[in-house]
């Protein structure tokens, strides 16, 4: 992969965001991200196929048939094959894997993978009904008004009961603090302008209140409503030669796994992300590595508890010890395995269909030294990066492992 580009993740938290004023639409974000990548790979003439990942444009924006927007990015994409893919919040990861499969099949030497979502068209309480489509909708009537915060509040509550609330809240608050500290280093992040003096203490002292929100999460534990897009090129070795880029400037996709859990069934254990655990362990086993060989991970922290549970799914901590692993600083940008180095979903933002692609852009930037102020050290003996993109409540999972070319 090469040529990653992120638009600003727009929403509450950005100084320029005003919910009462007109804002850029779907077309703006698709065009900006697509052109941002095309400018780095020699233009549209070098692209064979395109794919757009998106969750709910048909409802947030009353717009379907998204492949038709590829030629809008650049006339040079006109009449070239294009598809759109959907897997809820995992749609971006599916867009990456669709590009990978096109290249591996030989139908493309260069594929443009793009993910986008524009969802500030609705107030959060009404948008929650749309986002509930990422779960099994018959559960909607029995679920919380804020459906997915309710789902992950239940996971947090089960973790509190099993391992201790105060202990877990410390890990979750450290996760939030890491997200804000990292987002402040990336000008495209939604929380880039966040000036909270002590984000850890602020989150820790904000007691979850079910009368106001949900029982076991406060609003800081949650990713925000975001508008944005990200794009990156997926290339064969011939494709790299076509655009005139050396392998050392790209990241090699060394393993990828896509997995599905039955959306109609509740999780068998609320304190475990079983589909993520299956996918990450399968990917690492295929490559012959463990999580301790990874230099950095971009994981799907739609809620802080998801970050804790994914740390455990990776095998970096035993069940119930993930909160301690985070509290001890191991996932901070100066820790053993820095995670979500530009803020993740909580800090950078969560334009649902774009998140998986944004994760890949961040890994490409980090492994090739392009992350600017957000750059971390990549140890020579741990050259790998991983992205974990989740759709719904541990239902649609995309895991990709990368290495500098």
Same domain, 291 and 397: yes
pLDDT digits (tens, 9 = 90+) for 30-42: 999 999 999 999 9
Domains: count for the chain: 2
Q: Is 358 a residue of the active site?
A: no
Residue 128 within a domain: no
Mean pLDDT of the region 19-44: 97
Q: How confident is the model at residue 300, as a pLDDT? A: 98
Residue 139 within a domain: no
Residues 299-310 have pLDDT tens digits of 999 999 999 999
> Are residues 241 and 380 both part of a single domain?
no
Residues 16 and 30 in one domain: yes
Catalytic residue among 144, 203, 222, 350: 350
Question: In this structure, what CATH number is given to the domain that contains residue 15?
Answer: 3.40.47.10
Q: Domain check: are 273 and 339 in the same one?
A: yes
Asked if the structure places residue 138 within a domain, the reply is no
Q: Has residue 348 been placed in a domain?
A: yes
Residues 107 and 152 in one domain: no
Give yes or no: residues 262 and 237 share one domain: no
Average pLDDT, the chain: 97
Residue 155 placed within a domain:
yes
- Cβ atoms of 322 and 314 within 8 Å: the answer is no
> Does the reported pTM lie above 0.95?
yes
| Average pLDDT for 106-132 | 96
Is 28 considered catalytic here? no
Q: Is residue 78 one of the residues assigned to a domain?
A: yes
Percent of the chain with pLDDT over 90: 98
Mean pLDDT value across residues 387-397: 98
Kindly name the residue from 89, 222, 255, 302 that is annotated as catalytic: 89
Statement to judge: residues 309 and 263 lie in one domain: yes
The model's confidence at residue 315, banded by pLDDT at 50, 70 and 90, is: very high
pLDDT at 141: 86
Both 241 and 182 in one domain: the answer is no
Same domain, 195 and 207: yes
Query: Does 156 map to a domain?
Result: yes
Query: Is the same domain home to 93 and 235?
Result: yes
Range(s) of the domain holding residue 238: 2-122+226-249
């Amino acid at each position: 992969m090469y040529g990653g580009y992120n638009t600003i993740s727009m929403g509450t938290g950005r100084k320029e965001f005003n919910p009462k004023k007109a804002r850029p639409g779907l077309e703006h974000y698709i065009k900006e991200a697509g052109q941002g990548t095309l400018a780095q790979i020699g233009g549209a003439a070098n692209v064979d196929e395109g794919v757009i990942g998106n969750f709910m444009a048909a409802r947030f924006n009353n717009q379907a048939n998204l492949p038709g927007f590829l030629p809008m990015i650049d006339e040079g994409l006109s009449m070239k094959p294009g598809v759109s893919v959907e897997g809820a919040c995992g749609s971006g990861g599916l867009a990456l894997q669709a590009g990978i499969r096109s290249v591996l099949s030989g139908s493309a030497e260069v594929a443009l993978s793009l993910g986008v979502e524009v969802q500030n068209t609705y107030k959060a309480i009404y948008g929650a009904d749309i986002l509930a489509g990422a779960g099994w909708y018959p559960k909607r009537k029995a679920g919380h008004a804020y459906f997915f915060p309710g789902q992950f509040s239940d996971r947090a509550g089960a973790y509190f009961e099993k391992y201790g609330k105060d202990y877990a809240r410390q890990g979750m608050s450290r996760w939030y603090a890491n997200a804000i500290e990292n987002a402040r280093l990336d000008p495209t992040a939604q929380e880039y302008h966040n000036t909270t003096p002590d984000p850890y203490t602020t989150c820790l002292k904000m007691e979850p209140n079910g009368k106001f929100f949900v029982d076991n999460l406060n609003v800081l534990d949650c990713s925000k409503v975001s508008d944005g897009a990200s794009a990156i090129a997926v290339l064969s070795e011939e494709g790299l030669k076509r655009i005139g880029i050396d392998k050392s400037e790209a990241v090699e996709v060394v393993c990828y796994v896509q997995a599905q859990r039955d959306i109609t069934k509740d999780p068998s254990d609320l304190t475990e992300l079983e589909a993520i655990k299956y996918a990450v362990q399968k990917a690492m086993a295929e490559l012959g590595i463990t999580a301790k060989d990874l230099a950095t991970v971009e994981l799907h922290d739609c809620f802080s508890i998801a970050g804790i549970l994914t740390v455990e799914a990776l095998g970096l901590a035993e069940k119930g010890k993930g909160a301690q692993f985070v509290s001890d600083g191991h996932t901070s940008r100066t820790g053993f395995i820095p995670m979500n180095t530009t803020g993740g979903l909580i800090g950078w933002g969560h334009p649902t269909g774009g998140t998986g692609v944004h994760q890949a852009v961040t890994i490409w930037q980090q492994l090739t030294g392009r992350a600017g102020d957000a750059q971390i050290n990549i140890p020579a003996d741990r050259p790998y990066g991983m992205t974990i993109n989740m759709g719904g409540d541990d239902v649609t999972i995309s895991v990709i492992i990368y290495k500098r070319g």
